[in-house]
Amino acid sequence: MDRISKAKSVLWIILGIAGAVGITRFIFGLGVTTNLTDNTPWGFWIGFDVMGGVALAAGGFVIAAINYIFGNERMHPISRAAILTAFLGYIAVAVGLLFDLGLPWNIWHMMVFWNPHSPLFEVGWCVMLYLSILFLEFAPVILEKWPERKLLAKIHAMLEKVKIPIVIVGIMLSTLHQSSLGSLFLAMPFKLHPIWYTPILPVIFFVSAICLGLTMVMVEGLATSYLYKKEEHPYVLNTLRKSAIVMLLIYAALRFGDIFYRGADKLLFTGTASILFWLEISFTLIIPLIIFSTKGINKKVSWMFVGAFSGVFGIVMNRLNVGGIAHVNNIAESATFYLPSFTEITISAGVVSGAVLIFFYFIENFNVWEEKPVDGTLEVKSIPKFSSNKVYLGSTKVTNRIKFSFFFVIAFGVTFASISGSTIENKGIEEVKVTKARGGDTLIIDGNRDGFAVTFKHEFHKSKNIECGSCHHMNKPGDKSTGCYECHSGMYSEGDGFKHDWHSSSAGAGQSCFKCHDQNVSKGKGFIKSIKKAKDLCLECHEDMFVKNSNIDKYETFKTASYADAMHGLCVNCHEETLKTDSTLKRLKPNLANCSNCHKDDYELKVKQMRGKKLMNKSVILP
């Protein structure tokens, strides 16, 4: 097989694997296919597919600016390919985002339900608009394939007339959302590690996007030239190399100047964060600058590819660090370090593979380059190809389609068959076991042990004549003060308050089914669905199970709510009812039912917690 055929075969295999994993993700949810947790809700998909993907596509606006705005027409040979790369890159971002969203079918809500105060709102609209601009920029390449069609010719001529305004709008939109991705993380000063958190994060994101755009265009140009046996443009490559050196030096000055100015240099050689930082800097700056600046080496195509690819990898790593890996709750000593699962990487690789295959299609069938690639695999008429049993499979194009389809189907089938059913059943909602609240007169409730406890003034609530049954509505048999965590055992998942299997098992209570179920009624109708109806049956064995004035009668299911829902439901609902009946309290404490009423100490607690772990100093903590 020739180079391009081998490359396509590998891409179709990756796409087949990703297809099987993607179907699993949409059927069984995020938990089955990711290592994301409530502690690390953003990971590889956000860092690579969205943040990295947007930056990878920055070559479109960089080359468009050089070619059309600054008038360097000698960059024209790569302008169409750069715009196509950007166009497909933004499509890949949108597709990748669908995998990360919990409810991807609601992605359109942003267009209807506006929140102009959110950086994500601005990023989302800019990405949508810039994707439309890229389509208009690339549309002439598609339309010129059919010059004999008058309508298409008119549209082509109109787009050519407004090309410069379109390019200017595209550069403006790209500038906005490349920087706004950095603005998004300004809202989380205590979540992002201080090596990466900075007030000038939007500027750093924009400059690094330009660096990535230049190096990505180099990678794309060198890779396709190798695969299609096409000569590189020495002037174009040299211009990109020199531009990349200047932008990488500017980026280096910004990064290190900012770190030293904020006093975060003390953290550059401490802990996991320092390792991540120096790996990122090595790939982003050290390797590319050495290769691009060293005479002799910078004339060799293979070394140029290594330098450009290193720059791409380093800045994508920066996006991954900022997007989730370098968050404090992930790299703290007590935290479980997040690493993306194989399935996460597979889906991202599949999205990229699909974009690359579409890129190859346009290269082969449209005038993306000044000359279409000449290769034996693209010829319609060729010497007949025979399989091992001497069966003619058709022309080279047809043979390749059969071959690539075979690779895709086999990869899809093997991957789908290898996905473990037990893994799907057991993985999903993270089962965080809750612990007993600590304290006496004032309870400290820290169910998921994340260090953010809520204080509950127990004696104060008793003094307000609030019945114990309002909260402690049920006790385990023989217990007089059963903790909430005993029945609400899952932090975010439902529990089984009745323990049906234990009651019916000979190793447990050994109760007959007909103790609760009417044997004279058909199956289903004889099932006791309501706690109200079952309460009397329970009291036959457990006289002290229900607390006096218990609100258990409000519920009509044996399933217990998650610990989080139970806590929030009791407090928030009670506070809301109190505000309705107490006008004085409503005037004095109108925010009684708001989150901040109970979680008001989170900000100060986080500061103390992070200072105690020596993750930050005073000059870095406050934004």
386 and 512 both lie in a single domain: no
Mean pLDDT of 560-564: 80
d(CA 141, CA 367) in angstroms, rounded, equals: 6
Mean pLDDT of 100-114: 83
Last residue in a domain, options 360, 392, 422: 422
Q: Which domain holds residue 311?
A: 42-340
H-helix or E-strand spanning residue 442 = strand 442-445
pLDDT confidence bin for 619, thresholds 50/70/90: very low
**Is residue 215 in a domain?**
yes
Checking if the pLDDT of 379 tops 50, the result is no
Q: Is the dihedral of CA 601, 603, 604, 605 positive or negative?
A: positive
260 and 298 both lie in a single domain: yes
240 and 187 both lie in a single domain: yes
516 and 552 both lie in a single domain: yes
**Is residue 564 in a domain?**
yes
pLDDT confidence bin for 231, thresholds 50/70/90: confident
Last residue in a domain, options 291, 309, 340: 340
Amino acid letter for position 48: F
Amino acid letter for position 269: F
d(CA 13, CA 415) in angstroms, rounded, equals: 10
pLDDT of residue 181: 82
pLDDT of residue 311: 92
Give the whole-number percent of the chain exceeding pLDDT 70. 77
Amino acid letter for position 536: D
Between the CA of residue 87 and those of 80, 223, 420, 445, what are the distances in Å?
Answer: 10, 18, 36, 50
pLDDT in tens, 519-529: 555 554 445 54
Q: Which residue has the higher pLDDT, 492 or 212?
A: 212
DSSP three-state, residue 444: strand
Any idea what the CATH number is for the domain that residue 78 is in? 1.20.1630.10
For 65, which DSSP code?
I
pLDDT of residue 313: 92
d(CA 215, CA 67) in angstroms, rounded, equals: 17
pLDDT of residue 248: 94
Checking if the pLDDT of 193 tops 80, the result is yes
**Is residue 101 in a domain?**
yes
395 and 327 both lie in a single domain: no
**Residue recorded with tokens 């928030």:** 572
For 305, phi then psi, to 5°, come to -65, -40
Checking if the pLDDT of 377 tops 60, the result is no
**HEC states along 361-386?**
HHHHHCCCCCCCCCCHHHCCCCCCCE
Q: Which residues pair with 559 in a beta bridge?
A: 496
295 and 169 both lie in a single domain: yes
**Residue recorded with tokens 């037990």:** 422
**Is residue 429 in a domain?**
no
pLDDT of residue 382: 47
Q: Picking from 171-185, 386-400, 603-617, which range would have the lowest pLDDT averaged per residue?
A: 603-617
Q: Contact, 222 vs 171, CB < 8 A?
A: no
Encoded tokens for 551: 């609100």
**Is residue 432 in a domain?**
no
pLDDT of residue 616: 38
d(CA 565, CA 448) in angstroms, rounded, equals: 13
Q: Which of 68-77, 418-427, 512-521, 540-549 has the highest mean pLDDT?
A: 68-77
DSSP three-state, residue 237: helix
Mean pLDDT of 281-299: 90
Last residue in a domain, options 366, 392, 422: 422
Checking phi first, is residue 71 left (phi over 0); if not, alpha (psi -120 to 50) or beta?
A: left
pLDDT of residue 75: 74
Mean pLDDT of 15-29: 88
Alpha helices in 507-559 (DSSP H): 531-541
Checking if the pLDDT of 13 tops 90, the result is yes
Checking if the pLDDT of 102 tops 70, the result is yes
**Is residue 328 in a domain?**
yes
59 and 98 both lie in a single domain: yes
Domain count, the chain: 3
pLDDT in tens, 316-370: 899 888 887 887 766 765 556 777 888 888 998 999 999 999 998 888 888 887 6
Mean pLDDT of 176-205: 84
Checking if the pLDDT of 90 tops 50, the result is yes
pLDDT confidence bin for 246, thresholds 50/70/90: very high
Per-chain mean pLDDT for the chain: 77
Q: Which residue has the higher pLDDT, 174 or 256?
A: 256
**HEC states along 577-611?**
HHHHHCHHHHHHCCCCCCHHHHCCCHHHHHHHHHH
**Is residue 87 in a domain?**
yes
13 and 121 both lie in a single domain: no
pLDDT confidence bin for 615, thresholds 50/70/90: very low
Q: Contact, 428 vs 32, CB < 8 A?
A: yes
Name the CA dihedral angle for 169, 173, 176, 179, rounded to a multiple of 10 degrees: -120
pLDDT in tens, 502-513: 777 776 777 777
**Is residue 431 in a domain?**
no
pLDDT confidence bin for 617, thresholds 50/70/90: very low
Between the CA of residue 374 and those of 7, 12, 144, 219, 369, what are the distances in Å?
Answer: 16, 22, 20, 21, 12
260 and 369 both lie in a single domain: no
Mean pLDDT of 10-20: 92
Please state the pTM of the whole predicted model.
0.67
In this structure, how many other beta carbons lie within 10 angstroms of the beta carbon of residue 377? 18
pLDDT in tens, 429-464: 455 556 665 556 777 776 666 556 777 777 777 777
d(CA 30, CA 13) in angstroms, rounded, equals: 23
pLDDT of residue 283: 94
Mean pLDDT of 301-317: 91
Alpha helices in 499-562 (DSSP H): 500-504, 531-541
Q: Is the dihedral of CA 447, 452, 453, 455 positive or negative?
A: negative
153 and 296 both lie in a single domain: yes
Checking if the pLDDT of 268 tops 50, the result is yes
In this structure, how many other beta carbons lie within 10 angstroms of the beta carbon of residue 19? 20
pLDDT in tens, 528-549: 545 555 666 676 677 667 766 6
235 and 111 both lie in a single domain: yes
d(CA 350, CA 371) in angstroms, rounded, equals: 29
pLDDT of residue 607: 47
pLDDT of residue 622: 28
pLDDT of residue 162: 86
387 and 506 both lie in a single domain: no
Mean pLDDT of 239-264: 91
CB-count exposure of residue 206 (10 Å: 0-12, 13-18, 19+): buried
Q: Which residue has the higher pLDDT, 372 or 88?
A: 88
